[in-house]
Amino acid sequence: MRIALELYLKQLVVGGFDRVFEIGKQFRNEGIDMNHNLEFTTCEFYMAYADCYDLMEMTEDLLSGMVKELTGGYIIKYHANGYDKKPIEINFTPPFRRIEMIGELEKVANLNIPKDLASEEANSYLVDACARLNVLCPPPLTTARLLDKLVGEFLEEMCVNPTFIINHPVIMSPLAKWHRSNNDLTERFELFINKHEVCNAYTELNNPVVQRQRFADQLKDRQSGDDEAMVLDETFCKALGYGLPPTGGWGLGIDRLTMLFTDSLNIKEVIPFPLMRLQDKPASA
Q: 65, 132 in Cβ contact below 8 A?
A: no
Distance, in Å, from the CA atom of 80 to the CA atom of 282, rounded to the nearest integer, reads: 43
Residue 192 phi, psi dihedral angles, 5° rounding: -115, 135
Predicted confidence at residue 285, as pLDDT, reads: 45
Predicted confidence at residue 247, as pLDDT, reads: 98
CA angle 105, 107, 89 (to 5 degrees): 70
Beta strands in the chain (DSSP E): 19-27, 39-48, 75-78, 88-91, 97-100, 163-166, 178-179, 182-186, 188-193, 196-203, 247-253
What is the per-residue pLDDT across 92-110, written as a single tens digit (0 to 9) for each?
999 999 999 999 999 999 9
Closest CA to 100 of 199, 160, 217, 182: 182
Q: 154, 134 in Cβ contact below 8 A?
A: no
CA dihedral 177, 181, 185, 190 (to 10 degrees): -70
What is the per-residue pLDDT across 162-171, written as a single tens digit (0 to 9) for each?
999 999 999 9
What is the per-residue pLDDT across 112-149, written as a single tens digit (0 to 9) for each?
999 999 999 999 999 999 999 999 999 999 999 999 99
Predicted confidence at residue 97, as pLDDT, reads: 98
Amino acid letter, residue 167: N
What is the per-residue pLDDT across 17-29, written as a single tens digit (0 to 9) for each?
999 999 999 998 8
